[in-house]
Amino acid sequence: MSEPLLEVSHLRVEFPTRHGTLLALDDISFAIAPGEILGVVGESGAGKSLTGAAIIGLLDPPGRIAAGEIKLAGRRIDNLPYEQMRRVRGREIGAVFQDPLTSLNPLYTVGQQLVETIMTHLDLTAAQARARAIELLASTGIPAPEARVDQYPHQFSGGMRQRVVIALALAASPKLIVADEPTTALDVSIQAQIIALLKMVCREQGAAVMLVTHDMGVIAETCDRVAVMYAGRIAEIGPVADVIHRPAHPYTVGLMGSIPAMDGDRERLLQIDGAMPRLNAIPPGCAFNPRCPRVVDRCRAERPELASVGATSAACWRPVEVVR
Amino acid sequence: MLVFILRRLVQAVVVMLSVAFIAFMLFQYVGDPVNNLLGQDATEAQRIALRKDLGLDQPFPVQFARFAANAVQGEFGISLRQGRKVSALIVERFPATLELALVAGLIALLLGIPLGVYAALRRGKASAQLLMAGTLFGVSLPNFVIGIVLIWMFAVELKWLPSFGRGDVVSFGAWTSGLLTRDGLLHLVLPAITLSAFQLTLIMRLVRAEMLEVLRTDYIRFARARGLTDRSVYFGHALKNTLVPVITITGLQLGSLIAFAIITEQVFQWPGMGLLFIQAVQFADIPVMAAYLCLISLIFVVINLGVDLLYFAVDPRLRVEGKAH
Amino acid sequence: MAVDANPNPAASVTALRGFFDGDVWHSFRSSPVAIAAAVIALIFFVCALFADVIAPHNPFDLATLELMDSLKPPAWIDGGEPKYLLGTDGQGRDILSALMYGARISLLVGVASVLLSIVIGVGLGLLAGFVGGRTDAFIMRLCDVMLSFPSILVALMISGVGRSLFPNAPDALAFVVLVLAIALTGWVQYARTVRGSTLVERNKEYVQAARVIGVGPLRIMWRHVLPNVMGPVLVLATIQIASAIITEATLSFLGVGVPVTSPSLGTLIRNGNDTLFSGEWWITAWPSLTLVLITLSVNLLGDWLRDALNPRLR
């Protein structure tokens, strides 16, 4: 790809604890092109949200970045002092969190929160900021925005609130949005709307999206590329269609096989035996080796790097070479 | 919201009636009501006349109604100890207690909130830990011990401040104020600090705990993720959310300040209602006790109601206007 | 199947043993503050309990008092004597001994009123939670009203009423009234906590099963609900002992607490207050210090206990 917007190289995130140091993210590398939508999928605890937190610089202490680099438009942001990173947040990277109910301060109107964000990053007068706030609400599909801009969060329904959150994330026109499970807390009927909205406004503004979720359906609908995470590492990464239909990593194969299909044969769903290892019990070599149906001795000794397999890259010594 | 106010008013009336009932029981059955109303120096003829007047042979509800009617007008008879009208005594003493309580409350708020915020924001640092250790100390120190220590330090040893009484006061009609004279203010210092100590520690702990809770919320995280300045995050968002429950709780504390003033007034011989009450308890001066009880309950009920209304004003979630859509 | 089989066979024993083994005890051993506080509290407790034996003098035996020895300062100051380590008061009573006896009274009243509080509060809480309905509503109302009045006021009122009703009461009765007064200021917390736990337990299946079989509600409450609430009740009790002691000291200081013949620490402070201005500071200082140390150590223990028993922090 041409100059990537976001470049994560060999990122390691550690949590020093009384019982020793836990490695939560182990040598993560990926890139996002401008305007691209990258999905990050995996089970709970695989490290998806942590990756997002590390990128926006809001790792909860004692977590810290132990090694690696994060570059935004060619400039390193992982080692910026707090004040500079603060200016990056919101202006260059926007964030959308999971629960719209708790993401908004209940004591301020939606408009106040929007105007505050706009005026922090953009050089506009209060009146201009307010006009922009109304614009943003309109662009995220909120009806009667001139009236609703002075309402409080509790006066919005869940789906509407998430639209407000998206408006807030886009307030200063960032080039990258990190969306951490943006639809998980919403009704299924609303989920589709919100995802479509996210896709649309990001395309309109030319913003790239890192979409963290555990829902493969959302990934399939929305993303250009997808990264599959497992135990703090990336198992496979590639264009969405290829990862879904022609997965190379045995874990991805298992994931795809475990998704029920409405059409086709109603066979038994594939189940991957065992469970993802806890952070303090990751096996040597490939983290997936205890559960892998294709395991060989090398898997238990050496950790595989990401390598091209057909259209995707997989971290596996014996990837599935499929031509289906 | 109107429904809410009405409901709370009804509750308030019920509480006041129950308190009046207890006061009535005290008046009638603990000690002699005739004594309570006429004092101990009344003649026999006066007593007989009053007995008839009071209708002590009347059915219970009638007597209670009479008592309640009197109470509402502030008529509680004559103090057994001092021989003066209870209402006059209370009116005389009320300003002293109120001034003391208000100043103490102000000190507690003006010091407690900033210190609590500091302890929350600098959590883990030595200074914050020292502060919190100090609050544990403050909670373990009884009111009167603090007073005694302060008296000993500033009045006996250093001789900087006076240690009893109210000093020079200025009268406006029925009200007397010690705030307008230097002497009055000097006399106010030690008692106000003593009274405020407990509240101060409470507010500090409360503010710190609330602020720490608020700082862990999603909306604060989201605010940071939007790149808002620390000042905005801490003082624009976190502080406002912290103060909502704090303000309401401290409103309730004002009532307990007036009650705890009893102790402070004893230590400093401060001529307020608390001292009056203590002397009444020691002397079994029923009319004064009953009157104090009713007055305090009224104050509490009014404060509680006021605080509930304050909640409405401050938290938009409670003003249910439109349905969420 | 035995009708009254407790599904947690040794629940009470296990609860107690669980307290001393494992996490809580370990947490105690590793917290220097908690250990120091416990040691201090223990010292006072022992002094108070064995005052008769340990105290160098008996301040109540008028025969042993010598007026010549009155108002002596502590032993390390000019004019003091090693016989009266902490000095004497205006009537020749040894302060150290008076402290021990006074601490005993303070602790006795404090512990007694907390126990009474627990009985009242736990009882009402169980009742409210188990019976529900209007009883519950009434008890909760009562809690709300009681909470809105400061403890000192309630205690004073009851004390005052007691005095008026029984003006020449014997000392024993005065103590009873005092304990009752303090107990009535503190029961609400227990009631609320226990009610909450009762509501939770009441809906559990084994309780419903027991009811179906016909096990009486009292037995259910005793065997099933009670062990589950003992943790929070214990924490509350520790913290409340400190506040009960302070309340008693305050009442005694105000002159409406313990009878004069059995002075508690509060009474001692009150007595010493009169001589503060003439420079005999020790008569007030030592009881004050003792009082503060006792409440501080109990509060620290309570704080530590609350953190240790808090499942979220483990």
Mean of pLDDT over chain A: 86
Q: Measured between CA atoms, how close is C286 to chain B, in angstroms?
A: 11
B234 CA: distance to closest CA in chain A (Å): 13
Closest CB to B140 among C253, C281, C292: C292
Give A263 or C186, the one with higher predicted confidence: C186
Q: What's the mean pLDDT in C146-165?
A: 79
Q: Which of A63-72, A179-188, A262-271, B157-166 has the lowest mean pLDDT?
A: A262-271
Q: Most B CBs within 10 Å: which of A105, A119, A181, as the mutation test of the B interface?
A: A105
- Closest alpha carbon to A287 in A1, A15, A23: A23
Q: Strand order in A233-239's β-sheet?
A: A93-96, A176-180, A208-213, A37-41, A225-230, A233-239, A312-314, A307-309
C and A touch per CB criterion (3+ pairs under 8 A)? no
Closest residue of A to B217, CA-based?
Answer: A102
> For residue C195, is pLDDT > 70?
yes
Instruction: Show the tokens assigned to B100.
Output: 């003391």
Looking at residue A44, what is its pLDDT? 82
> Rounded CA gap, C81 and C86, in Å?
9
CB within 8 Å of chain B, chain A residues 111-140? 116-117, 120-121
pLDDT, averaged across chain B: 81
Q: Mean pLDDT across chain C, nearest whole number?
A: 78
Residues of B with Cβ-Cβ distance to C295 under 8 angstroms: 140-142
Residue B103, C-beta contacts closer than 8 angstroms, at least 6 positions apart:
B179, B188, B192, B196
Q: pLDDT at residue C115 above 90?
A: yes
Determine which of C60-64, C157-161, C165-169, C170-174 has the lowest per-residue pLDDT on average.
C60-64
* pLDDT higher than threshold 80 for residue B190: yes
B259 and C150: CB-CB below 8 Å? yes
C210 with C184: CB under 8 angstroms? no
Residue A249 DSSP code? S
Mean pLDDT, rounded, for B78-93: 80
Query: Mean pLDDT, to the nearest integer, of B290-300?
Result: 86
Mean pLDDT along residues C184-201: 84
The pair of three-digit structure tokens given for residue C100, joined into one six-digit string = 């021990």
pLDDT at A305 over 70: yes
Query: Cβ B300–C149 below 8 Å, yes or no?
Result: yes
Distance from the Cα of B185 to chain C's closest Cα (Å) equals: 22
Q: Is the pLDDT of residue B171 over 90?
A: no
Higher pLDDT, B253 or A180: A180
Mean pLDDT over A90-100 rounds to 89
Q: Compare CB distances from B263 to C250, C279, C291 and report the shortest one's residue.
A: C250
Q: Do B100 and B261 meet the contact criterion of CB atoms below 8 Å apart?
A: yes
User: What's the pLDDT tens digit per position in A196-250?
Assistant: 888 888 888 888 999 998 888 888 888 999 999 988 899 899 999 988 888 888 8
Residues in chain B: 325
CA distance C183 to C237: 12
Other Cβ atoms less than 10 A from the Cβ of B86: the count is 27
In angstroms, the CA C266 to CA C246 distance is 8
**Which tens digit of pLDDT belongs to each residue from A224-234?**
999 999 888 99
Q: Chain C residue closest to B302 (CA)? A: C148
- Within chain C, what is the greatest distance between any pair of CA atoms? 78
| pLDDT at position A239 | 93
Token pair 């209870």 is at which residue?
A: B86
CA gap C6, B313 in Å, rounded: 52
Rounded distance between C-alpha atoms, residue B222 and residue B204, angstroms: 27
- Look at residue A32 in the predicted model and tell me its pLDDT: 92
- A88 in Cβ contact with A34 (< 8 Å): no
Model confidence at C308, pLDDT cuts 50, 70, 90, reads confident
Which band of pLDDT confidence, cut at 50, 70 and 90, is reported for residue B56? low
* The predicted structure's pLDDT at residue B319: 67
Please state the rounded mean pLDDT for residues A137-148: 90
**Hey, what amino acid is at A64?**
R
Alpha-carbon span B191 to B201, nearest angstrom: 16
pLDDT grade, residue B220 (50/70/90)? Answer: very high
pLDDT of residue B325: 57
Residue to mutate among B144, B156, B253, B288, with most C CBs inside 10 A, is B144
DSSP bridge partners of A227: A40, A237
Task: Provide residues of B within 8 Å CB-CB of chain A.
Answer: 217-219, 221-230, 232, 236-237, 240-241, 244, 314-317, 321-322, 324-325
Q: What is the rounded CA–CA span in Å between residue C38 and residue C42?
A: 6
Q: Tens digits of per-residue pLDDT, B7-34?
A: 888 888 888 888 888 887 777 776 666 6
* pLDDT at residue C302 in the model: 80
* CB < 8 Å to B218, chain A: 97, 99, 102-103
The neighbour count for residue C147, using CB atoms within 10 Å, is 13
Check pLDDT > 70 for residue B215: yes
DSSP code, position B41: T
Q: What dihedral do alpha carbons B166, B169, B174, B175 form, nearest 10°?
A: -80
Among candidate residues A264, A252, A268, the one with its CA nearest the CA of residue A310: A252
The angle that helices A110-121 and A158-169 make with each other, rounded to 10 degrees, is 10
Which among B306, B242, B251, B322 has a CA at the least distance from the CA of A107? B242
- Name chain A contacts of B210, Cβ cutoff 8 Å: none
* B144, B255, B284 member nearest C250 (Cβ): B144
Please state the rounded mean pLDDT for residues A68-73. Answer: 91
Q: Do B325 and A156 touch (CB under 8 A)?
A: yes
User: Per mean pLDDT, which of C45-59, C78-92, C231-245 is the most reliable?
Assistant: C231-245
Nearest CB partner across the interface for A120, out of B222, B227, B321? B227
Q: Which site among B151, B281, B294 would you substitute to test the C interface, given the most C Cβ atoms closer than 10 Å to its Cβ? A: B281
pLDDT confidence of residue C4: 42
The whole-number pLDDT of residue C314 equals 39
Q: Considering only CB atoms, which chain B residues are within 8 Å of A95?
A: 222, 225-226
Identify the pLDDT of residue C5: 43
In angstroms, how far is the first alpha carbon of chain B from the final one? 20
| Residue B41 pLDDT > 90 | no
pLDDT at C128 over 50: yes
Contact yes or no for A154 and B325 at CB 8 A? no
Concatenated DSSP letters for chain C? --TT--SSTTHHHHHHHHHHSHHHHHHHHT-HHHHHHHHHHHHHHHHHHTHHHH-SS-TT-GGG--GGGTTPPPTTSTT--TTSTT-B-TTS-BHHHHHHHHHHHHHHHHHHHHHHHHHHHHHHHHHHHHH-HHHHHHHHHHHHHHHTS-HHHHHHHHHHHHHHH-TT--HHHHHHHHHHHHHHHHHHHHHHHHHHHHHHHHTSHHHHHHHHHT--HHHHIIIIIHHHHHHHHHHHHHHHHHHHHHHHHHHHHHTSSS-TTS--HHHHHHHHHTTTTTT-THHHHHHHHHHHHHHHHHHHHHHHHHHHH-GGG-
For residue A109, the distance in angstroms to the closest alpha carbon of chain B comes to 9
Cα–Cα dist A149/C113, whole Å: 57
With CA atoms as reference, report the closest residue to A185 among A211, A159, A166, A153.
A159
Cβ pair C255:B286 closer than 8 A: no
Asked whether the predicted pLDDT for residue A113 surpasses 80, the reply is yes
Sign of CA dihedral A258, A53, B225, B217: positive
CA angle B10, B13, B19 (to 5 degrees): 145
pLDDT for C3 = 40
DSSP track, B10-32: HHHHHHHHHHHHHHHHHHHHSS-
Least confident of A75-84, B102-111, B129-138: B129-138
Residue B159 CA to residue C19 CA, distance in Å, equals 52
d(CA C175, CA C252): 11
Query: Looking at the DSSP assignment, which residues form a beta bridge with residue A96?
Result: A179
What is the pLDDT confidence band of residue C95, given thresholds at 50, 70 and 90? confident
CA A5 – CA A32 distance, rounded (Å): 6
Helix or strand run (H / E) with residue A6: strand A6-17
| Separation between Cα atoms, residue B189 and residue B99, nearest integer Å | 12
Cβ of B227 and A91 within 8 Å?
yes
Measured in whole angstroms, how far is the alpha carbon of residue A207 from the centre of its chain? 14
Query: Which residues in chain B are closer than 8 Å to A88, comparing Cβ atoms?
Result: 227
Nearest CA-CA distance, residue C308 and chain B, Å = 17
pLDDT of residue A159: 87
Residue C261 C-alpha, separation from nearest chain B C-alpha, in angstroms? 17
- Specify whether the CB–CB gap between B305 and B9 falls below 8 A: yes
pLDDT digits (tens, 9 = 90+) for B224-237: 999 899 888 998 89
Touching A (3+ Cβ pairs <8 A), the chains are: B
Q: Considering only CB atoms, which chain A residues are within 8 Å of B225?
A: 56, 58, 89-90, 94-95, 97
C200 contacts: CB under 8 Å, gap ≥ 6: none
Contact residues, chain B, for A120 at CB < 8 Å: 226-229, 232
Instruction: Using CB atoms, list chains with 3+ pairs below 8 Å to chain B.
Output: A, C
Confidence of residue C16 (pLDDT cuts 50, 70, 90): low
CB contact under 8 A, C148 and B304: yes
Chain B residues near any Cβ of chain C (below 8 Å): 15, 18, 26, 30-31, 136-137, 139-145, 148-149, 151-152, 156, 252, 255-256, 259-260, 262-263, 266, 277-278, 280-282, 284, 286, 289, 293, 296-297, 300, 304
Q: Sorting pLDDT into bands at 50, 70 and 90, what band is C114?
A: very high
pLDDT score, position A179 = 92
Across the interface, whether the CB atoms of B226 and A88 are under 8 A apart is answered no
Cβ <8 Å between A94 and B226: yes
**pLDDT for res C9:** 45
Smallest CA–CA separation between B28 and chain C, in Å? 12
Closest CA of chain B from C246, distance in Å: 6
Given pLDDT bands bounded at 50, 70 and 90, which one contains residue C21? low
What is the per-residue DSSP string for B144-211? HHHHHHHIIIIIIIS--S--SS--S-EEETTEEESTTSHHHHHHHHHHHHHHHHHHHHHHHHHHHHHH
- What Rg, from alpha-carbon coordinates, does chain B have? 24
Determine the pLDDT at residue C25. 66
Question: Which residues of C touch chain B, with CB atoms under 8 Å apart?
Answer: 145, 148-150, 152-153, 156-157, 159-161, 163-165, 167, 242, 246, 249-250, 253-256, 269, 273, 276-277, 279, 281, 284, 288, 291-292, 295-296, 299-300, 303
Nearest residue in B to C163, CA atom? B284
Complex ipTM value: 0.86
* The predicted structure's pLDDT at residue A247: 87
B88 has pLDDT over 70:
yes
Spatial distance between the Cα atoms of B319 and A19, rounded to a whole number of angstroms: 49
Query: Is the model more confident about A159 or about C169?
Result: A159
pLDDT reading at A115 higher than 90: yes
Determine, for residues C253 and B144 on separate chains, whether the beta-carbon distance falls below 8 Å: yes
Per-residue model confidence as pLDDT tens digits over C272-295: 887 777 777 778 888 888 888 888
